[in-house]
A and B are shown apart, each in its own frame.
Chain A
């Protein structure tokens, strides 16, 4: 399998990196995270409406750029590096992927162009965010498409125009489309550890939905893998950024008459961190290539999610520790990445869950 990016993919990365450097500096992240809405609509319009960043992985017939998991990963990595604050992950990655993988042709025709073009903000409603096996049961659908039940945590539901809901129907799991503000829908914002990723509790009481597709176990696992691969990319981008700023800090801060980066305890910690991030990055990029090729290890996405989460947390811990007291302040930016790392570590399965998932794929259940 490929181990390098194509020229077009390198170009995509350059464009996205530049846009995010300009549009998502830490000051902007802080401004957005302090608002209830959680994002800046003008920036959203530029990144998703004009630049098409919500549709890189959506087929061209549905208004996207026709890329795959690799292109989605590139955008996610750059988003993660700059800690972009907004519903991109919920809308493009989660809802977009669910539509591509599970919706009927006509529903895709109708719903995907808005998501890909950024004019629709969507999210995916799952009643479990730990493992595919836990999904289902808490939200049910009736014959005539009425949804009832609770999802305890939904990303960016408070700003969603469109909710794609995985609900239990008579014959198994189904994907339903629900309009934001539909009758019987209650969205309640939650307090979160990572203020750059908003969560809500969503309660459905006879909410009118439209069944857009069936969600078999295979489909759910495919969606899960694609989301996890994109999330791993987002984490690698964040880990890399935090690592670079941390190493730079050790070159500038003096104690005992020398830069702290000349102390071997810190050097060795950074060398180990480099290795951990390199390995996680290789697994992450590989996971996207496997998904696009439909080949390679079936557990590639779980390897990526587990390794990237551990590497991000290692970078986050070092990012605070190597800064000393200033690292523990609200004013210093390191904690923003630390909190994103913590949130991402547990979203869509902790590293331990993914390691067990990969062992089950390799060797069967214990």
Chain B
């Protein structure tokens, strides 16, 4: 469908259906049934099978007309993409709709105190008892877990097979007595991530996704979407300026809660957009050494965007695997963020000692300096991305492994 056709179809549909006095969830139900909530999803699941470019046209029309879109902020995208790719029809029927309407929020329960990079070394236990899965163990660094309704949980169901084969993937109801999330304070002062304790938490058999022992495959699907997100982020779009109408109040409240853990995320990417304005404002734009570093940053930033566009194009043509392309993009995002942080430091000089409202850009620059370290850890560290790139893209040989054989016998953290 051409962009013009899409524009006119979606506009006609909005003329007939969009009203600011509907309750938020009711509006999203209508949006879903109209097929405009997630146009890039398949037709049998609320979508239209649109390409990302076609979907962008729809989003543009929504923005122009101040229309509230389907819920999209936070890890719910990871949940919907994982369920779309690996879930049963029953799971798609039960979970996808409330993700789009915003009734359910999600979190990712992957990392554990004893296993982060080595995700497949996890030791949270899932056992079948009386027809239900009983979960015991601890997760950590789980963003948004403190207000999530559901969690994407990986746990071990078999200890006697090699580690990747004994993992299963569950859709965990967080609103139960056996699940407790405690916020953790980060080095930048925010509390976005949590530790999550599961004590005899219960999962119904129909909430196991992808089959018992098949959790590693499903987890890789989630991770590939996550890594691609670092280079191509679909942001929850706040509508510009104050809007009149009851639905906007509800929407802004939803966004406020959902985006609260992510207010510093742009800072962890280095705020490249602030570099030239800050350099002009401070006069650093006339310093030859700073100009060199700014130019390097612009080359990295522009080149990575162009490279990701062409990777996306060849991915559509089916020539590149998703995971390595995501790893290159994720590593690029780290390199860019570090260079941006370095440049911001040069521009600020001694003022970079200050933080808070009196410091540069209302404290944003200080937050950049203490948030950038996160980008090279979250979603798989830089070192792990380099392992993936060298082995999967370049075909370099795997190193010596000390973790083969039954999981039970492998050395791990106490």
Give the B-binding residues of A (Cβ under 8 A): 3-4, 247, 250-251, 258-259, 261-264, 266-268, 270-272, 274-275, 278-283, 285-286, 297, 303, 306-307, 352, 355-356, 358-359, 362-363, 366
Option from B298, B328, B397 in Cβ contact (under 8 Å) with A274: B328
Classify the interface of chain B: helix, strand, loop or mixed. helix
Contact A303:B303 (CB < 8 A) given known A282-B310, A355-B295, A366-B288: yes
Option from B276, B292, B332 in Cβ contact (under 8 Å) with A363: B276
B298 lies within 8 A of A303 (CB)? yes
Contact A363:B280 (CB < 8 A) given known A250-B396, A251-B397: yes
Option from B386, B394, B397 in Cβ contact (under 8 Å) with A259: B397
The chain A residue with its CB closest to the CB of B317 is: A4
The chain B residue with its CB closest to the CB of A365 is: B286
The chain A residue with its CB closest to the CB of B296 is: A355
The chain A residue with its CB closest to the CB of B331 is: A275
CA distance A267 to B298 in the complex (A): 27
A303 lies within 8 A of B399 (CB)? no
Tell me whether B92 is interfacial, beta carbon within 8 Å: no
B335 lies within 8 A of A274 (CB)? no
B306 lies within 8 A of A282 (CB)? yes
The chain A residue with its CB closest to the CB of B385 is: A271
In the bound complex, residues from chain A placing their C-beta under 8 Å from that of B302 are 283, 286, 297, 303
In the bound complex, residues from chain A placing their C-beta under 8 Å from that of B286 are 366
A4 lies within 8 A of B313 (CB)? yes
Cβ-Cβ contact count across A and B, 8 Å cutoff: 123
> Size class of B's contact patch?
35 or more
Option from A259, A268, A278 in Cβ contact (under 8 Å) with B307: A278
CA distance A262 to B397 in the complex (A): 5
Q: How far is the CB of B224 from chain A (nearest CB, A)?
A: 17
A356 lies within 8 A of B295 (CB)? yes
In the bound complex, residues from chain B placing their C-beta under 8 Å from that of A272 are 331, 386
B328 lies within 8 A of A356 (CB)? no
Tell me whether B37 is interfacial, beta carbon within 8 Å: no
CA distance A282 to B300 in the complex (A): 10
The chain B residue with its CB closest to the CB of A311 is: B303
Tell me whether B321 is interfacial, beta carbon within 8 Å: no
Option from B314, B335, B391 in Cβ contact (under 8 Å) with A275: B335
B387 lies within 8 A of A267 (CB)? yes
Report, nearest first, the 6 A-B pairs whose CB atoms are least far apart: A355-B295, A279-B303, A267-B390, A282-B306, A271-B386, A282-B307
Tell me whether B299 is interfacial, beta carbon within 8 Å: yes
Interface string of B272-290 (1 = CB under 8 A from A): 0000100110000111100
CA distance A261 to B397 in the complex (A): 6
Interface string of B393-413 (1 = CB under 8 A from A): 111111110000000000000
Contact A358:B295 (CB < 8 A) given known A251-B395, A307-B303: yes
Contact A355:B291 (CB < 8 A) given known A275-B335, A307-B303: yes
Tell me the residues in window 294-324 of chain B with beta carbons closer than 8 Å to chain A beta carbons: 294-296, 298-300, 302-304, 306-307, 309-310, 313-314
B295 lies within 8 A of A359 (CB)? yes
A283 lies within 8 A of B306 (CB)? yes
A3 lies within 8 A of B306 (CB)? yes
Q: What would 27 A/B residue contacts be, using CB atoms closer than 8 Å?
A: A3-B306, A3-B309, A3-B313, A4-B310, A4-B313, A247-B395, A251-B395, A258-B399, A263-B399, A264-B399, A266-B396, A268-B387, A274-B394, A275-B332, A275-B389, A278-B328, A279-B299, A279-B300, A282-B304, A283-B302, A283-B306, A286-B306, A303-B299, A303-B302, A352-B292, A359-B295, A366-B291
